[in-house]
A and B are shown apart, each in its own frame.
Chain A
Amino acid sequence: MLFNSYEFIFVFLPVTFFVYFYLNQKRLTKASKGFLVFSSLFFYSWWNITYLPIILFSMLFNYIIGDTLNREEGHHRFSKKSILIFGIVSNIALLGYFKYTNFMIDNMNYWIFKEDIPNINLALPLAISFFTFQQISYLVDSYKEETKEYDFFNYALFVTFFPQLIAGPIVHHKEMMPQFSKTRNKVKNYRNIAMGLFIFSIGLFKKVVIADTFAIWATQGFDEATTLNLFEAWATSLSYTFQLYFDFSGYTDMAIGIALLFNIKLPINFNSPYKATDIQDFWRRWHITLSRFLKDYIYIPLGGNKKGEIRTYTNLMATFIIGGLWHGAGWTFIFWGFLHGLALVIHRVWSKLNFKLWTWFAWFITFNFINISWVFFRAKEWDDALKVLGGMFSLDHIILHEKLKIILSFLPYDGIKFGTMFIAQGGTLDVVLWLIFILFFVIFSKNSIQLLNTFKQNIFYAFITALLFVISLFDMNKISEFLYFNF
Chain B
Amino acid sequence: MKYLIQLFIFIILVFISFYIFILSVDPYDKYNFNYWELKTKAVNSYRDNKFNQIDNSQIKYDLFIIGSSRVQGFNPSLIELETGLKTFNYGVNNSKPEDLLAITRHIIAKQKPKIIFLQVDFYHLNKSIPIDRRLKTSPLGKYLNENIKASSSNSIFYLYNQSYLTLRSLRDSIKIIYKNKLGKIETTHNKNGMKIEHKIPKKAKLAKAYFQNEYKNYEFGKQRIQDFIQLKELCKKNDINLIVSISPMNKEHFLTLMKNKKLFNMLLMFKRKIVEIFIEVYDFNNLGAFQYNYPYWIDSVHPSMELSNIMSEIIFDRKKEESNIFGKKITNDNINQYLQDLNISSQKLFSN
Contact = CB atoms under 8 A, between A and B. Distances in A.
Interface stretch (A31-39, A90-98, A467-475): A467-475
Contacts of A190: 1, 3-4
Interface string A29-52: 000000000000000000000000
A194 interface: yes
A258 B14 CA distance: 22
A466 B13 contact: yes
B199 A462 contact: no
A207 to B, nearest CB: 13
A93 B184 CA distance: 62
Interface residues of A, number: 31
B202 A474 contact: no
A470 B7 contact: no
A474 B18 contact: yes
Contacts of B11: 466, 469-470
Contacts of B3: 190, 194, 457-458, 461-462
A470 B197 contact: no
A474 B198 contact: no
A14 to B, nearest CB: 13
Contacts of A419: 197
A420 B13 CA distance: 41
B7 A474 contact: no
Contacts of B198: 423, 427
A326 to B, nearest CB: 29
Contact of B196 (A225, A420, A459, A469): A420
Contacts of A427: 196-198
Contacts of A471: 167
B10 interface: yes
Contacts of A475: 166-168
Contacts of A477: 162-163, 165-168
B162 to A, nearest CB: 8
Nearest to A213: B167
B170 interface: yes
A470 B14 contact: yes
A47 to B, nearest CB: 21
B196 A466 contact: no
Nearest to B16: A470
Contacts of B294: 226
A477 B7 CA distance: 23
Contact of B199 (A194, A424, A463): A424
A464 to B, nearest CB: 9
Given A194-B3, A462-B3, A474 B165 contact: yes
A423 B197 contact: yes
A316 interface: no
A457 B2 CA distance: 9
A350 to B, nearest CB: 40
B200 interface: yes
B199 A226 contact: yes
A427 B13 CA distance: 37
A197 B7 contact: yes
Nearest to A198: B7
Interface string A404-441: 00000000000000011001100100000000000000
Interface in A4-62: none
Interface in B161-176: 162-163, 165-168, 170
Contacts of B196: 420, 427
B45 to A, nearest CB: 15
Nearest to B202: A226
Nearest to B17: A470
Contacts of B201: 223-226
Given A194-B7, A462-B7, A225 B199 contact: yes
A20 to B, nearest CB: 17
B338 interface: no
A209 interface: yes
A127 B205 CA distance: 29
Contacts of B141: none
Contacts of A423: 197-199
A193 interface: yes
A457 B162 CA distance: 37
Interface in B147-193: 162-163, 165-168, 170
Contact of A226 (B14, B167, B295): B295
A466 B10 contact: yes
Nearest to A208: B167
Interface in A376-425: 419-420, 423-424
A291 interface: no
B334 interface: no
Contacts of B167: 209, 471, 474-475, 477
A194 B5 CA distance: 10
Contacts of A209: 167
B295 A463 contact: no
Interface in A197-226: 197, 209, 220, 223-226
B166 A224 contact: no
A467 B295 CA distance: 45
A475 B169 CA distance: 10
Contacts of B10: 462-463, 465-467
B15 interface: yes
Nearest to B7: A462
A9 to B, nearest CB: 12
A466 B12 CA distance: 8
B69 to A, nearest CB: 14
B7 A473 contact: no
Contacts of A461: 3
B273 to A, nearest CB: 35
Contacts of B295: 226
Contact of A466 (B7, B162, B163, B197): B7
B4 A474 contact: no
A387 to B, nearest CB: 10
Interface string B9-42: 0110111001000000000000000000000000
A226 B4 contact: no
Interface in A225-280: 225-226
A454 to B, nearest CB: 15
B56 interface: no
Contacts of B197: 419-420, 423, 427
B178 to A, nearest CB: 14
A338 B6 CA distance: 51
Nearest to B6: A462
B144 to A, nearest CB: 31
A63 B33 CA distance: 63
Given A465-B10, A475-B167, A470 B199 contact: no
Given A226-B201, A419-B197, A475-B166, A470 B18 contact: yes
A424 B202 CA distance: 12
Interface of A: 190, 193-194, 197, 209, 220, 223-226, 419-420, 423-424, 427, 457-459, 461-463, 465-467, 469-471, 473-475, 477
Given A197-B7, A225-B199, A466-B7, 19 more contacts: A194-B3, A194-B4, A194-B7, A197-B4, A209-B167, A224-B199, A226-B199, A424-B199, A457-B2, A458-B3, A459-B6, A463-B14, A465-B7, A466-B13, A471-B167, A473-B15, A475-B167, A477-B165, A477-B166
21 contacts: A220-B199, A223-B202, A224-B201, A225-B199, A419-B197, A424-B199, A427-B197, A457-B3, A462-B3, A462-B10, A463-B10, A463-B14, A465-B7, A465-B10, A466-B10, A466-B14, A469-B11, A473-B15, A474-B165, A474-B166, A475-B168
When A and B form their complex, which 3 residue pairs have the shortest distance between CB atoms, in order from nearest?
Answer: A466-B10, A475-B167, A457-B3
